[in-house]
């Protein structure tokens, strides 16, 4: 689960496992696997970092490949 900030400043927690795609136009549009969409203030880079941090904490560091090392 990661927290995002909607354009109106409202904080929302979404399941990062359900993120299908993200697009910056310049705001970040997040599309979930069920078709729901959220527009966030955070950049794709910030959201990716949040999702990786969550996965590392939840699953354990050894199970998540570091994109900088294994790109």
Domain count, the chain: 1
Report the run of H or E that residue 24 belongs to, with start and end: strand 19-24
State the pTM of this model: 0.78
14-59 pLDDT tens trace: 999 999 999 999 899 999 999 999 999 999 999 999 999 988 887 7
Placement of tokens 């970040």 in the chain: 28
Q: Is residue 68 part of a domain?
A: no
CA neighbor of 40 nearest in space, from 49, 28, 48? 28
> 3-class SS at 69?
helix
Q: Is residue 7 part of a domain?
A: yes
Q: Is residue 70 part of a domain?
A: no
Placement of tokens 């795609």 in the chain: 21
Domain range for 6 is 2-63
> 3-class SS at 63?
helix
């Amino acid at each position: 689960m990661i927290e995002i900030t909607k354009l109106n400043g409202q904080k929302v927690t979404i399941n990062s496992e359900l993120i299908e795609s993200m697009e910056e136009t310049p705001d970040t549009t997040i599309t979930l696997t069920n078709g729901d969409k959220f527009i966030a203030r955070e950049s794709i880079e910030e959201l990716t970092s949040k999702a990786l941090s969550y996965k590392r904490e939840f699953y354990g560091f050894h199970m998540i490949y570091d994109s900088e090392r294994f790109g």
